[in-house]
Amino acid sequence: MKKVTVCGKQENMSRLTFNGSEFKHTRDLETTEDGKKRTKVFYCDPQASWQKPQIEKNHEFIRYVLPKGKTLNPYTQEDMLLLANNINSIRRESLGNKSPYEATTDKSILRLMELMGLHTVPADEVNLTPALLKR
């Protein structure tokens, strides 16, 4: 598995995720087309939010903008990118008071972020209210 640097520490790249239908094709997620291992997927137990506290915090931030039960149908990829950029620009105590974007040091991940249009939103411009994606 690829090693990445997270907050100055070398880590194996892995994914902790929900056991939802969108993650049922584990082999496709974990290996490249030629069969090389690229990551490892671990599933959380249902109703065990303590197993994924960072994900839960992101869900909380999402709910500030999109209340539970609201359909995602009217939103575009650009809307979701805007939401991700706002969420990932918030500094976290767990990251040494850096935002997830600021804490990222791996050059390949930084390049991927650039290609995807992921970037820091200035702290005084972060908006996690329904007005961010007014529809």
Report the relative pairing of strands 41-43 and 15-17 from DSSP bridges: parallel
Is the predicted pLDDT of residue 6 greater than 60, yes or no? no
Grouping H, G, I as helix, E, B as strand and the rest as coil, residue 43 is strand
Residue 128 to residue 122: CA distance in whole angstroms? 13
Is the predicted pLDDT of residue 106 greater than 80, yes or no? yes
Predicted pLDDT of residue 98: 93
Residue 105 to residue 119: CA distance in whole angstroms? 14
Q: What percent of the chain has pLDDT over 70?
A: 72
Instruction: Encode pLDDT of 71-95 as tens digits.
Output: 888 899 999 999 999 999 999 998 8
Predicted pLDDT of residue 64: 94
Work out the number of other CB atoms within 10 angstroms of the CB of residue 133: 20
Report which DSSP code applies to 125. Answer: G
What's the mean pLDDT when you consider all of the chain?
79
Predicted pLDDT of residue 39: 72
Structure tokens at 36: 């090389």
pTM of the model as a whole: 0.66
Q: Which of 54, 79, 58, 81 is nearest to 131 (CA)?
A: 79
